[in-house]
Structure 1
Amino acid sequence: MKFNFISKIIICASIPVLFSNCEKFLDRDPLSEAAEKNFWKTENDALVGLNAVYTALPGERDFWRDCQSDNSVMTNAWGEGGLGYISMGNHNAATAYVQEEWRYDDIRKCLYYLQHLSKMSFTQDLKNRLEAEARFILALRYFRMVQHYGNIPLIKDEPINLDESALPRTDKNLVLDYALENVVYAIDHLPEHYTGANLGRINKGAAYMLKANIYLHQASIKQYHEGAADSQLWKQAYEAASEVLKMGYGLVDDYAEVFKQANNLNTTEVILARQYVEDKITHMLPVLASPAGTGITGNGWASFCPTRELVDSYLCTDGKDIRSSNLYDPAKPWENRDKRLKKTFMLPGEPVLRPNGKYAAYQPHPAYNMGEKINSEGGGITGYMYLKFNEPEYVKTDAGFANWPIYRYAETLLIIAESLNEFKPGDLQIKTMIDQIRKRAGLPLLSNSDLSDQAVMRKLIREERRHEFVAEHKRYFDILRWKIAEDVLNKNAEGINSNQNDLIGDWTKPRFLAQNRKFEKSKHYLWPVPQSSIDKNKNLLPQNPGW
Structure 2
Amino acid sequence: MKLNKNIILLAGSISIAALSCKNGLKEETYSVFDANTLTKPANGEQAVRGTYAGLKDNGGYGYYAGFLYWLYEYPGDVVTTTLTARQGVQLDQLTYDANNATINDVWTSIFRLVSRANESEEIIKNIDYVANGSSDALKRQHLGEVRFLRALAYYDATSLWGNVPLFIKPSSQYTEADENPPLTEQSKVEDAMIADLEYAEANLPETYAASEVARATSGAAKALLGRLYMRRLEWKKAADKLAEVMNKNYDLRTRAEGGVVSLFSRDNRSDNEFIFVLKSSSEVDAYTINSNSFGQNSTPWDYNRGWGNFPLNLSFYSIFDPADARRDLLTGKFRTIYGQIMAVPKQYGGEATAAGRDTILATFVYNLKYPHTGNYNYSGFNNVTILRYADVLLMRAEALNELNGPNQESVTLVNQIRSRAGLTEYTLASFGSKAALRDAIFDERNKEFFMEGRRRDDLIRWSREAGNSPTSLVKFKEKVVPTLKDPNTYSDAVNYALYPYPLNEIQSNTSLNQSLNDGRVRR
Q: How far is the alpha carbon of 1:114 from its aligned partner?
A: 0.8
The answer as to whether partners of 1:293 and 1:372 remain within 8 angstroms in 2 is: no
Q: CA deviation at 1:426?
A: 2.5
Tell me, yes or no, if structure 1 residue 168 matches structure 2 residue 182. Answer: yes
**Residue 447 (1) aligns with residue 450 (2):** no
What's the offset of the Cα at 1:451? Answer: 4.0
3-state SS in 2 of match to 1:482: helix
Q: 1:59 aligns with which of 46, 56, 64?
A: 64
Aligned to 2:297: 288
Give 1:428 deviation, angstroms. Answer: 1.2
Q: Give the counterpart of 1:338 among 299, 303, 324.
A: 324
In the superposition, relative to structure 1, how do residues 20 and 481 fare at CA in structure 2: closer, same or farther (>3 Å)? farther
Q: Which residue of 2 aligns with 1:377?
A: none
Residues 372 and 42 of structure 1, relative CA distance in 2, 3 Å threshold: farther
Q: What percent identity do the matched residue pairs reach?
A: 22
Cα separation, 2, equivalents of 1:161 and 1:340: 52
Q: In structure 1, what is the Cα distance between the partners aligned to 2:359 and 2:175?
A: 49
Amino acid at match of 2:188: L
Distance 2:103 2:422 in 1: 39
Over 3 Å counting, the alpha-carbon distance change for 1:424 and 1:288 in structure 2 is same
Write out aligned runs for 1:260-409 (5 A): 260-266=265-271, 268-278=272-282, 281-295=290-304, 299-314=305-320, 316=321, 336-341=322-327, 343-347=328-332, 350-352=333-335, 354=337, 361-363=341-343, 368=356, 382-391=363-372, 394-395=374-375, 397-409=377-389
Question: What is the distance in 1 between the residues matched to 2:406 and 2:92?
Answer: 35
Structure 2: stretches of 5+ with no match in the other structure: 1-5, 21-29, 56-62, 130-134, 284-288, 346-353, 464-474
**What is the SS of the residue equivalent to 1:462?**
helix
Q: Name the structure 2 match of 1:22.
A: 11
SS of 1:247's equivalent in the other structure is coil
Match for residue 493 of structure 2?
A: 522
Q: Which residue pairs with 2:483 in the alignment?
A: 492
Q: Which residue of 2 aligns with 1:533?
A: 505
Superposed, 1:108-187 pairs within 5 Å as 108-122=115-129, 123-159=135-171, 160=174, 165-187=179-201
**Match for 2:444: what amino acid?**
E
- Give the secondary structure class of the aligned counterpart of 1:273: strand
Is the aligned partner of 1:104 residue 2:111? yes
| Equivalent-residue separation in structure 2 for 1:45 and 1:387 (angstroms) | 39
CA–CA separation in structure 2 for the residues paired with 1:257 and 1:97: 31
Q: 1:352 to 1:78 in 2, by over 3 A?
A: closer
Alignment partner of 1:36 out of 30, 33, 36: 33
Q: Is the 1:142–1:175 contact (alpha carbons within 8 Å) kept by the matching residues of 2? A: yes
CA–CA separation in structure 2 for the residues paired with 1:473 and 1:373: 28
Distance 2:506 2:7 in 1: 25
Match of 1:546 among 498, 519, 523: 519
Q: How far is 1:516 from its partner? A: 6.5
Aligned twin of 2:469: none
Q: Is the 8 A contact 1:68 1:476 kept in 2?
A: yes
Is the alpha carbon distance of 1:284 and 1:91 closer, same or farther for their aligned partners in structure 2, counting shifts above 3 Å? closer
Partner of 2:441: 461
Task: Give the Cα–Cα distance (whole angstroms) in 1 for the partners of residues 293 and 8 of structure 2.
Answer: 21
Alpha-carbon distance between aligned partners in 1 of 2:160 and 2:81, rounded to the nearest angstrom: 20
Contact 2:17 2:53 in 1 (8 A): no
1:433 aligns with 2:381: no
Does structure 2 conserve the Cα–Cα contact (< 8 Å) formed by 1:50 and 1:130?
yes
CA contact (8 A) 1:284 1:397 kept: no
SS in structure 2 of the partner of residue 301 of structure 1 = coil
Q: Equivalences for 1:184-223 in 2 at 5 Å?
A: 184-195=198-209, 197-219=211-233
RMSD, aligned α-carbons? 3.0
Q: From the superposition, tell whether residues 40 and 83 of structure 1 become closer, same or farther in structure 2 (CA, over 3 Å).
A: farther
In the superposition, relative to structure 1, how do residues 287 and 93 fare at CA in structure 2: closer, same or farther (>3 Å)? closer
Inter-partner Cα distance in structure 2 for 1:352 and 1:55: 37
AA aligned opposite 1:249: Y
Secondary structure of the residue that 2:64 maps to in structure 1? coil
- Label 1:292 to 1:184 Cα distance change in 2 as closer, same or farther (>3 A): same
Work out the CA distance in 1 between the residues paired with 2:137 and 2:395.
31
Distance 1:372 1:538 in 2: 55
Is contact 1:56-1:137 (8 Å) kept? no
Contact 1:89 1:517 survives alignment (8 Å): no
| C-alpha deviation, 1:339, in angstroms | 2.1
Native 8 Å contact 1:260 1:391 kept in 2: no
**Which whole-Å CA distance do the structure 2 matches of 1:409 and 1:459 have between them?**
21
CA distance in 1, matches of 2:310, 2:175: 35
Asked if the contact 2:442–2:462 (Cα under 8 Å) also holds between the matched residues in 1, the reply is no
Contact 2:65 2:291 in 1 (8 A): no
Aligned pairs for 1:247-266 (under 5 A) are: 247-252=248-253, 253=255, 254-266=259-271
Superposition deviation, residue 83 in structure 1 = 3.0
Q: In structure 1, what is the Cα distance between the partners aligned to 2:31 and 2:499? A: 42
Once the two structures are TM-superposed, the CA of residue 373 in structure 1 deviates from its matched residue by 7.5
What is the one-letter code of the residue matched to 1:278? S
- Aligned pair partner of 1:93 in 68, 89, 98: 98
Match of 1:244 in 2: 245
Give the conservation status (yes or no) of the 8 Å contact 1:345–1:387: yes
Hey, what's the Cα distance between the residues in 2 that align with 1:458 and 1:186?
Answer: 31
Cα offsets for 1:479-532 (capped at 9, x unmatched): 123232222222235xxxxxxxxxxxxxxxxxxx6x878333432221111121
* The one of 68, 88, 91 aligned to 1:83: 88
SS, match of residue 482 in structure 2? coil
Letter in 2 for 1:45: N
Structure 1: runs of 5 or more not aligned: 1-16, 220-232, 317-335, 375-381, 494-512
CA shift, 1:355, in A, is 7.8
d(CA) in 2 for partners of 1:491 and 1:265?
A: 39
Normalising by structure 1, what TM-score? 0.77
Question: Could you state the TM-score of these two structures normalised by the residue count of structure 2?
Answer: 0.80
**Is residue 480–residue 525 contact of structure 1 (8 Å, CA) maintained in 2?**
yes
Structure richer in helix, relative to its length: 2
Secondary structure (helix, strand or coil) at the match of 2:74 reads helix
CA contact (8 A) 1:60 1:285 kept: yes
In structure 2, what is the Cα distance between the partners aligned to 1:101 and 1:34?
24
Give the Cα–Cα distance (whole angstroms) in 2 for the partners of residues 469 and 161 of structure 1: 43
Given the superposition, is the C-alpha separation of residues 29 and 527 from structure 1 closer, same or farther in structure 2, using an over 3 Å criterion? closer
Alpha carbons of structure 1 residues 412 and 364: separation in structure 2 relative to 1, 3 Å: closer
